Amino acid sequence: MGFCLETDTINSTISINDPDTIVSRRQVFKLGFFSPENSTNRYLGVFYTVSEKTVLWIANRDNPLNDSSGTVTISRDGNLVLMNGRNETIWSTNATTSSTNTSVQIQDTGNLVLRDVSTGTTLWDSFSHPSHVFVPTMLMVDNLNTNTKVFLSSWKNGSDPGLGSFTAGLEARNIPQIVIWHNGHLRWRSGPWNGQILIGVQDMYSPYLDGFSVVNNPPGNYYFTAPEATILMKVALNSSGSLEQSLWDDQKKSWDITWIAPQNECDVYGTCGAFGSCNPRESPICSCLRGFEPTNREEWGRGNWTSGCQRRRQLQCDQSGGGAGNGVGFLRLPFMKVPDFAEHFSSGQVEECLARCSRNCSCIAYAHDTNIGCMFWSESLIDIQKFSGVGADLYIRLESSELVDPSLISGLNLKASGSLRSGPISALR
């Protein structure tokens, strides 16, 4: 039976031994030792007081103790260290510091912070070295200036918190979005951040996912965060490669999962390949966009759609006449998850998006969001999904012969002078 020390701090005079703990000021989080289910290995971690099996952060995730001899203390060089029974260092904060007068505090946010006592300067904190869980006030960072990221890493499995094969974080190039990687390969993406929601996540329209934000400060240093809340909330990357958002139900004394991604096969990145669209409510789930056909019909017949689709008719784009070409227009696809690799232009009007795309032969699709402005695509359209009642209108460039439903068509007419004017349909004759 361990003791919960009546302090939130470890310093030169206070250390903890397995199974003792320290607790944050409002008793939200504890720092102490734990063993995962079906394991006798011991780990130093931060966990919730209301649910001690729910671990937020692990220090020695790849170097477990095989007994309960662990001790946590401040070393002579001012770092927080985990020692085994043979006084061997199992884990250390490894902060560069000239101060030996340091202390570590477990905060009510769940952040474990090493500070210089004399100056109050933060030397190291666990939120900058997360494990598999994101909580409010934590920052998932993509610093384009220094090419550094702060991201989540999954456990190997439910009994081993060692580094697994999945990571999740912010991808800020072009338009910021949240992504999951599997061994470095993209597994899922949220779609672009529009300043309020991630427009490729259907559940983002729910109040359960309200309050998240993406900040660019200073320029080039992007981070995804959420404000401190009265209800306990966490987003965990599980060992199967899914992000799960959960809220604590104090009456049931359990976590309620309010959102998970990916939810189905259509959420998995590139399931239908280039120029393929995925709809989880249809069978088969993949189909080619209008004007396209399977690149490999044999593979598609076997239910392998990753080879994608190709145009039935190549676009006749006039490079010298403003880029629009004769008999070319745009087909509107409503309620869509927009493709990956969007190029961005801030504009408040959808007509401006149409005009810019029409003037450029390399522009094969566009979309508009009130907060983002124009989004353009010039290469393959990958990771498209049909949503139900939410999502963006995606306009794809087609030959006029492929445009058969006037209600889905948008476009321009090209005057002889080369100037552009709006028209009710997109076929340029």
Quick one: 332 and 390 in the same domain? yes
Which among 128, 144, 167 is the end of a domain? 128
Confidence of residue 48 (pLDDT cuts 50, 70, 90): very high
Answer whether residue 421 shows pLDDT above 50.
Answer: no
Q: Is 96 within the bounds of a domain?
A: yes
Average pLDDT in the 303-321 region? 83
d(CA 63, CA 44): 10
With H, G, I as helix, E, B as strand and everything else as coil, classify residue 205: helix
Please name which of 244, 224, 226 lies closest in space to residue 236, comparing C-alpha atoms.
Answer: 244
Q: Residue 276 domain-assigned?
A: no
Here the CATH number for the domain that contains residue 334 is 3.50.4.10
H helix runs in 233-369, sequence order: 297-301, 350-358
Question: Looking at 222, 244, 263, which one is the last position of a domain?
Answer: 263
Q: Is 234 left (phi over 0), alpha (psi -120 to 50) or beta?
A: beta
pLDDT recorded at residue 408: 54
Q: Are residues 380 and 406 in the same domain?
A: yes
Q: Is the pTM of this model over 0.85?
A: yes
Residue 265 makes CB contacts below 8 A (sequence gap 6+) with 271, 278, 280, 285
Confidence band for 364, pLDDT divided at 50, 70 and 90: very high
Is 243 in a helix, a strand, or coil? strand
Lowest mean pLDDT among 9-23, 324-338, 346-360: 324-338
Please give the residue range of the domain that contains residue 396.
312-423
Question: Is 252 among the domain residues?
Answer: yes
Same domain? 259 vs 212: yes
| 242 and 207 co-located in one domain | yes
Both structure tokens of 228: 């401190």
Confidence of residue 320 (pLDDT cuts 50, 70, 90): very low
The domain that holds 62 is classified in CATH as 2.90.10.10
**Does residue 274 belong to any structural domain of this protein?**
no
Q: Tell me, yes or no, whether 207 and 255 share the same domain.
A: yes
In this structure, of 23-37, 104-118, 274-288, 337-351, the range with the lowest mean pLDDT score is: 337-351
Q: Last residue of a domain, which of 128, 145, 173?
A: 128
What pLDDT shows up at residue 275?
Answer: 98
Tell me how many degrees the CA angle 54-28-226 measures, rounded to the nearest 5. Answer: 80
- Report how far residue 192's alpha carbon sits from residue 174's, in angstroms, rounded to the nearest whole number: 9
Q: In what order do the strands lie in the sheet with 21-23?
A: 4-5, 21-23, 29-34, 43-48, 55-58
98 and 180 co-located in one domain: no
Give the DSSP H/E element, type plus range, for residue 82.
Answer: strand 80-83
pLDDT surpassing 90 at residue 221: yes
**Number of structural domains found in the chain:** 3
| Mean pLDDT score, 142-154 | 96
Same domain (yes/no): 28, 85: yes
**Are 94 and 143 found together in one domain?**
no
Average pLDDT over residues 195-219: 83
Looking at the structure, tell me whether residues 180 and 164 fall in a common domain. Answer: yes
Residues whose CB is less than 8 angstroms from the CB of residue 367 and which lie 6 or more positions away in sequence, other chains included:
336, 338, 342, 353, 374, 375, 392, 393, 394, 395
Contacts 24+ apart (CB under 8 A), 193-201: 193/224, 194/369, 194/370, 194/371, 194/372, 195/371, 195/372, 196/371, 199/337, 199/338, 199/369, 199/372, 199/391, 199/392, 200/337, 200/338, 200/385, 200/391, 201/259, 201/261
Report yes or no on 295 lying in a domain.
no
Pairing mode, if any, of strands 276-278 and 384-386?
Answer: parallel
Residue 394 inside a domain? The answer is: yes
* CB-based contacts of 411, cutoff 8 Å, min separation 6: 329, 330, 354, 358, 423, 425, 426, 427, 428
